Chains A and B, each alone.
Chain A
Amino acid sequence: MILVEHLTHIYAPGTPLALTSLEDVSLRIEEGEFVVLAGATGSGKTTLVQHFNGLLLPTAGRVLVDGRDTRDKRVRRDLWRTVGLLFQNPEQQLFEENVFAEVAFGCRNLGLDEGTIEIRVRRALEMVGLEPVRFGTLSPFALSRGQQRRVALAGVLAYRPRVLVLDEPTSGLDPAAREQIWQMLKGMQQHGHTVVVITHHMEDAARYADRVVVLHRGKIYRQGTPRQVFGDPEGLRAVGLDVPMPGELMYRLRQRGLPVNTGILTLDEAEAELKKLAPSGKACPVM
């Protein structure tokens, strides 16, 4: 699906402000996969995803989407139809008179007819939890930041790109909205979409991702299933990431010499693991 080969990206090369953002990154994202990109601020996550839809071009190396090279101008022109990228703080890109037109912008650029647009926009608004009837006619500038974020998200969902790439879609949202968005993304995956999400919420990453890719200073630091990645909390903290609480707990118990498994992601799993440790102990209801 998306193949990144020895990608290096340097901003403003040859000037005193030159900055190497990515260095020799190779990565493969399969069709229908749910990938979370993690890493501290400045680790190159945003730069990497902007290569996926051809907004940035490799300084060295190449990026193939469906086998087509993004360095080809003709490929790049239509890439947005396949790879839908939602920027960080997308509320800053809103410009239409009302929410409906805002969400329809991508569909209009696709050249869909009004009837289809209407259906898709409604559907997209429902998916992000905004009632089409109530919100459709409001000005996007009159909404709260969280609502604006969802409008922007709906704008990508509405034109249904096969790959969804979202740069911190849940930052600044409350836990309920965050949960809703992750659920919705998981649903998109089940409908056959490939989903790539940048996030700092490692608990969410652990729950929803098929694969977690950790970037550190422009290089891939570690990648694998959430279990593999979060099994070793020590290294993750060193590159500026959180470790989900259950995994952290198991890791510390192990350090104290208890024979527990550290590849633990959820509280339920942690509970089961602890019961194994002390089968005679009284079960303490979690939550």
Chain B
Amino acid sequence: MMLSGITLGQYIPGRSFVHRLDPRTKILASAVMIMAVLVCNKPAGYVFLTLGTLLALGFAGTSPRLLVGILRPFWVILTLTLVLQLFFTPGQVLLALGPLHVTREGLVLGGQILWRLILLIVFSSLLTLTTSPLMLTAALESLLKPLQRAGVPAFDLAMMMTIALRFVPTLLEEAQQIIKAQQSRGAVFTRGGLLQRVRGLVPLLVPLFAGAFRRAEELATAMEIRCYRVGANRTRMHQLRYDWRDYAVLAGTGTLFLATLALRWWG
């Protein structure tokens, strides 16, 4: 229950190559890489994608420890996926544990899905880890702008997404704080039967929601006080500009995507 260290969606300031990329490049590259991961179905493809991921992590200056911190919250879901695939995929039996059979096909499929999930998590985390929420909105807004003609409220969407992203770490921190406060008066979150545990969540969830609503209201007021208006035409303090690094990264990820696609069709 103790959520410590790195939280999901948190931005860690830095001066690495990836930090300095145009945020639009990072969004596009992440999206392309995620698509590549999803279309990949050949071992060679996974090798390419893994190398690409390691390269990206290296350029972002991510320590192995941080990587573990990113993946830790997901370990239950990752293990569960692997186990389910291992035991419930029919095929050639490798190992029998009582009524359960580990199959060759299950091993392959489970491993594949596990690896996919890990790559997906790493890529989406890398984006938020190296891009400040402010830059993220700027990029989203810029990317969505062409859709504005078609009636997509690009700015509002970008704003909503930023606010949501911005408040993930805040709410997690607040949750930790409330957990501690309730533990201090004897609340138990991690013991007892299912019913007791669910009931145990009430002292956490009620204050958390109350806090979220209060925050939302305060934020709205603060924005209005500063004359925020929906749809106002704003200029930016920092103009986004692509340079050679961005073209290089986009070309690289594009190639990787085409390579996995080619492997899928002809490999």
A contact set with B: CB distance below 8 Å: 12, 14-17, 50, 53, 55, 80-81, 84-87, 90, 92-95, 105-106, 109-110, 141, 155-156, 159
Q: Are A55 and B180 in contact (CB under 8 A)?
A: yes
A-B contact pairs, 6 of them (CB 8 A): A15-B5, A17-B6, A50-B180, A87-B181, A95-B206, A110-B186
Known: A12-B5, A15-B6. A105 touches B14 (CB 8 A): no
Known: A55-B180, A156-B185. A12 touches B207 (CB 8 A): no
Known: A12-B4, A105-B203. A17 touches B185 (CB 8 A): no
Closest A residue, CB atoms, query B6: A15
B183 at the interface (CB under 8 A from A): yes
Q: How far is the CB of B81 from chain A (nearest CB, A)?
A: 27
Q: Are A92 and B207 in contact (CB under 8 A)?
A: yes
B184 at the interface (CB under 8 A from A): yes
A-chain residues with CB within 8 Å of residue B187 when the two chains form the complex: 105, 109
Alpha-carbon distance A106/B187, docked complex (angstroms): 8
Given contacts A55-B184, A87-B184, list 8 more A-B pairs with CB under 8 A. Answer: A12-B6, A14-B65, A17-B6, A17-B12, A55-B183, A84-B184, A87-B177, A105-B203
Q: Are A92 and B211 in contact (CB under 8 A)?
A: yes
Alpha-carbon distance A113/B262, docked complex (angstroms): 72
Alpha-carbon distance A95/B174, docked complex (angstroms): 14
Known: A12-B6, A15-B69, A16-B14. A80 touches B203 (CB 8 A): no
Contact of B185 among A15, A92, A159 (CB under 8 A): A159
Q: Are B185 and A95 in contact (CB under 8 A)?
A: no
B202 at the interface (CB under 8 A from A): yes
Known: A14-B65, A92-B207, A93-B207. A159 touches B186 (CB 8 A): yes
Q: How far is the CB of A258 from chain B (nearest CB, A)?
A: 49
Chain B 46-57 near chain A by CB (<8 Å), digits 1 or 0: 000000000000
Chain B 171-195 near chain A by CB (<8 Å), digits 1 or 0: 0001001101111111110000000
B237 at the interface (CB under 8 A from A): no
B93 at the interface (CB under 8 A from A): no
Closest A residue, CB atoms, query B184: A85
Alpha-carbon distance A168/B203, docked complex (angstroms): 22
Q: Are A80 and B180 in contact (CB under 8 A)?
A: no
B-chain residues with CB within 8 Å of residue A53 when the two chains form the complex: 184
Q: Are B177 and A80 in contact (CB under 8 A)?
A: no
Alpha-carbon distance A86/B180, docked complex (angstroms): 10
Chain B 115-137 near chain A by CB (<8 Å), digits 1 or 0: 00000000000000000000000
Alpha-carbon distance A109/B202, docked complex (angstroms): 14
Chain B CB count within 10 A is highest, among A17, A53, A90, for: A17
Alpha-carbon distance A177/B187, docked complex (angstroms): 28
A-chain residues with CB within 8 Å of residue B5 when the two chains form the complex: 12, 15, 17
Q: How far is the CB of B64 from chain A (nearest CB, A)?
A: 10
Alpha-carbon distance A106/B185, docked complex (angstroms): 5
Closest A residue, CB atoms, query B185: A106
Chain A CB count within 10 A is highest, among B63, B183, B188, B202, for: B183
Q: Are B181 and A90 in contact (CB under 8 A)?
A: yes
Closest B residue, CB atoms, query A87: B181
Closest A residue, CB atoms, query B206: A95
Closest B residue, CB atoms, query A91: B207
B164 at the interface (CB under 8 A from A): no
Alpha-carbon distance A175/B202, docked complex (angstroms): 34
Closest B residue, CB atoms, query A11: B4
Q: How far is the CB of B61 from chain A (nearest CB, A)?
A: 9
Question: Which 6 pairs across A and B sit closest by C-beta, in order of nearness?
Answer: A109-B186, A95-B206, A93-B181, A106-B185, A85-B184, A87-B181
Q: Which of B4-27 contact A (CB under 8 A)?
A: 4-6, 12, 14
A-chain residues with CB within 8 Å of residue B206 when the two chains form the complex: 95
Alpha-carbon distance A87/B65, docked complex (angstroms): 32
B66 at the interface (CB under 8 A from A): yes
B-chain residues with CB within 8 Å of residue A80 when the two chains form the complex: 183-186
Q: How far is the CB of A233 from chain B (nearest CB, A)?
A: 34
Q: How far is the CB of B187 from chain A (nearest CB, A)?
A: 7
B-chain residues with CB within 8 Å of residue A16 when the two chains form the complex: 12, 14, 66
Chain B CB count within 10 A is highest, among A85, A90, A92, A94, for: A92
B210 at the interface (CB under 8 A from A): yes
